[in-house]
């Protein structure tokens, strides 16, 4: 029987087909090295140094490997309680969250098994205020948004770009996409986009006026 903890066994398969490893390079097309065993993955989150607004586009998944310098505890926003809460990244399903990395270009490897649909994400509105922020995950293959998304009354969203270390804002009424300027302490127009596209792996603060669900169905199959 092969002992995967033995350095001489790196790259060698066990009788059951498991490939041993000491580092990612030992795995090749067999995935990444986790606990001396090569594991398959089909999605990767790329993190920059600092806080990253991200999400995992699966409701059932396995965290295969987390690069050093990434903090496994992430922060998500509880809209109904109006507060941040923490969870281990393996339990962050159906959530947008903040993840911290101490250095650039670090990765979280994920084996996604079942995608989620946007109607599975409940959006909460506090009727005592004009609108309410919800930190939402983004679907596999991304999503288009507009002010009349199914039964949701969307007013705007915000996204934090870690690479640029700045915030972006979209106004649902005007379609303006804006970038925050720290010198002037104001948002400045970038372009007009009435149907902005948000990529998978990101998360956004979506502001709404009513309790709702985005309502588009995506076939719940993994890659």
Domain containing 84: what range? Answer: 43-115
Domain-ending residue, one of 115, 150, 177: 115
Do residues 138 and 169 both lie within one domain?
A: yes
Distance, in Å, from the CA atom of 166 to the CA atom of 2, rounded to the nearest integer, reads 50
**Residue 49 lies inside a defined structural domain of this protein:** yes
Do residues 178 and 194 both lie within one domain?
A: yes
**Residue 214 lies inside a defined structural domain of this protein:** no
Do residues 193 and 122 both lie within one domain?
A: yes
Higher-confidence residue of 212 and 49: namely 49
Predicted confidence at residue 16, as pLDDT, reads 59
Do residues 33 and 47 both lie within one domain?
A: no
Do residues 77 and 145 both lie within one domain?
A: no
**Residue 215 lies inside a defined structural domain of this protein:** no
Domain-ending residue, one of 115, 148, 174: 115
| E strand intervals along 69-217 | 73-78, 83-88, 96-101, 106-115, 132-137, 143-144, 154-161, 166-171, 176-181, 186-192, 197-198, 203-208
Predicted confidence at residue 91, as pLDDT, reads 96
CB atoms near residue 105 (< 10 Å) = 11
The mean of the pLDDT values for the chain is: 86
pLDDT category at 60 given cuts 50, 70, 90 is very high
**Residue 217 lies inside a defined structural domain of this protein:** no
Predicted confidence at residue 52, as pLDDT, reads 97
Do residues 160 and 90 both lie within one domain?
A: no
**Residue 98 lies inside a defined structural domain of this protein:** yes
pTM exceeding 0.75: yes
Do residues 124 and 202 both lie within one domain?
A: yes
Residue 143, Cα to own-chain centre: how many angstroms?
A: 13
Contact 119, 149 (CB under 8 A): no
**Residue 19 lies inside a defined structural domain of this protein:** yes
pLDDT tens digit sequence for 74-100: 999 998 888 999 999 999 999 999 999
pLDDT tens digit sequence for 146-170: 766 667 888 999 999 999 999 999 9
Do residues 126 and 198 both lie within one domain?
A: yes
The domain total for the chain is 3
**Residue 81 lies inside a defined structural domain of this protein:** yes
Do residues 25 and 51 both lie within one domain?
A: no
């Amino acid at each position: 029987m092969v002992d995967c903890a033995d350095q001489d066994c790196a790259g060698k398969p066990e009788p059951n087909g498991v490939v041993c490893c000491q580092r990612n390079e030992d795995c090749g097309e067999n995935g990444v090295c986790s606990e001396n065993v090569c594991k398959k993955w089909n999605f990767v989150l790329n993190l920059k140094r600092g806080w990253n607004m991200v999400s995992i586009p699966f409701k059932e998944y396995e965290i295969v490997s987390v690069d050093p310098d990434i903090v496994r505890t992430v922060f998500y926003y509880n809209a109904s309680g109006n507060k941040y809460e923490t969870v281990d990244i393996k339990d962050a399903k159906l959530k947008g969250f903040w993840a911290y990395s101490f250095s650039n270009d670090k990765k979280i490897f994920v084996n996604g098994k079942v995608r989620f649909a946007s109607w599975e994400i409940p959006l909460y509105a506090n009727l005592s205020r004009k609108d309410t922020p919800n930190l939402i995950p983004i679907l596999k293959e991304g999503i288009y948004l507009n002010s009349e998304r199914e039964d949701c009354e969307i007013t705007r969203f915000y996204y934090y770009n870690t690479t640029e270390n700045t915030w972006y804002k979209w106004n649902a009424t005007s379609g303006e996409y804006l970038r925050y300027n720290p010198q002037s302490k104001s948002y400045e127009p970038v372009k007009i986009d009435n149907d902005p596209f948000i990529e998978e792996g990101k998360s956004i603060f979506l502001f709404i006026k009513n309790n709702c669900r985005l309502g588009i169905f995506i076939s719940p199959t993994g890659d």
